[in-house]
Amino acid sequence: MAIDNKTKKKSKTSQAIDFWHRATQALYWYYEKRLLNEVSKAKTLPNHIGIIMDGNRRFAKSIGLDVKAGHDYGAKKARAVLDWCVELGIQHVTIWGFSSENKGRAVEEVDHLHSIFTQQAKMLIDDKKLHQNKIKVRIIGDIDSFPAETKIALAKMEEATKDYDGMSLNVALGYGGREEIVAAVQSLLKEKVKTGMTAQEIAEQVCISEIEQHLYTAGIPDPDFVIRTSGEIRLSGFLLWQTAYSEFYFVDANWPDFRKLDFLRAIRNYQARERRFGK
């Protein structure tokens, strides 16, 4: 059977595209390995990384998918980024998966997010990497309004990892920075009142260290470095108290599109900074 000229052209075009794709992938792989080696050899790594995982819905809309699919892709990316942090030896990671304001989104979307949290918690319990690396998982935020099934799954995940002393992973769900500070102050005041102190005495004694002891992140060092995806240049309430002297890095990629190369570039950027802590 004779092959017409159009078919030949299509075949050549396909071959050229395939070659270009393979060449690009090879270059990407080489650059990623080189960057990983550079970052790993540097003396300074963040002790605590905070990550604002933003852009799931925009990612989904950009490729014509339902927003729920964007959250599915986002959950997979979170697992991948956790592996990258383990590979570098990061000691503490806090990821923000669901804010207090997100509770006001469409019921169908919120229900889907609750389902993802339930599934991810169950998957993490059975994740060999999590147990091999002794990753301690803690939920921070207000999850009282979450479905019973979700709260049970999250509690089981915390219980299964509570004695681990490897990386500590904080998962911020139903989290708001202002709400955290209010909750911390309320907890501190209730504690003081039980001792019989007067309002005046309490006011005179309240200090920074005491409030810190009542934050969700009590016992964990403040973030050295905070990464936010999707091109938004703001914290939106993420760890408002704890990020007083954190370094920030904003990347344009939506969360599901956040590559290991982007992550390593962010770490390299952090390593090139001089932290002065206001001095």
Catalytic residue ranges:
54, 102
Separation between Cα atoms, residue 176 and residue 101, nearest integer Å:
8
Q: How many residues does the chain have?
A: 279
Q: State the sign of the Cα–Cα–Cα–Cα dihedral 34, 40, 46, 49.
A: positive
* Long-range residue pairs from 189-195, CB within 8 A, at least 24 positions apart, any chain: none
Q: Are 38 and 214 in contact (CB under 8 A)?
A: no
Strands 168-175 and 136-140: parallel
Nearest to 47 by CA among 79, 93, 82, 84: 93
**CA distances (Å), origin 105, targets 98, 136, 230:** 11, 30, 19
CA distance 77 to 150: 20
**Interatomic CA distance for residues 50 and 224, integer angstroms:** 8
Compute the distance between CA of residue 184 and CA of residue 175 in angstroms, rounded to an integer.
13
Q: Strand, helix or coil at 279?
A: coil
At 139 the three-state DSSP class reads strand
Q: Which two tokens stand for residue 63?
A: 């490729």
CA–CA distance, 96 with 239 (Å, rounded to integer): 10
